[in-house]
Amino acid sequence: MTDDPSKTPKTRYLVLHDYGMGGIWWWVRARSERELLETFAEVEVMHDEAARARAEGWGLDEADVDASADPVGLASARAARVAQRELPGFGVLAGPEPLHLRQSWTEDTDPVDYLSEVGPDGRRLRQVEVLVDGTAYRSTPEDWPFNPPLVDRFSPEWLPFVITAAEFEQEWARAVHDPDR
């Protein structure tokens, strides 16, 4: 292995921008998964070998982290990441441990606080909805029709919403499962 990172061989990664009811896919060459995720916002690397095998026949656009131009969709992901790099806290939330967030939602509904436990890929692992009257409902991926990535863990925009694991667990422990939610 060389001391010059630019000389490190690149690997071809299957990359997805999942927007819930669909997604945009690319093959992207990078020196590491982390380099890829630090270069493009709101994408994930797909590790499932069956998905990779299927994607071989899709005729996907190919890209490179060092390229001066990117395919449609990936160019905006790069531009978003460039802007995020200038902000304090870029990459602070990236890592393997679960992340816990609390967000208030007041638009078009009664106020609700959403407490989410998020995995390294940005997808919700568990969630608690706390209603204005204090009633709390818990849910897991089995309860949701879709579970696209909620959080780009390199983006500093999520820092104001971070709570401790203990805060999340306290609400989780008192919450009940509502099969109608």
Where exactly are the structural domains of the chain? 5-85, 99-177
φ/ψ (deg, to 5) at 103: -130, 140
What is the C-alpha to C-alpha distance for residues 93 and 47, in angstroms, rounded to an integer?
A: 21
Q: Could you count the other beta carbons within 10 Å of the beta carbon of residue 89? A: 15
pLDDT, residue 158, reads 97
Longest dimension (CA), the chain: 59
Convert the pLDDT of each residue in 27-41 to its tens digit.
999 999 999 999 999
The whole-angstrom distance between residue 40's C-alpha and the CA centroid of its chain comes to 12
Convert the pLDDT of each residue in 61-105 to its tens digit.
999 999 999 998 999 999 999 999 999 999 999 999 999 999 998
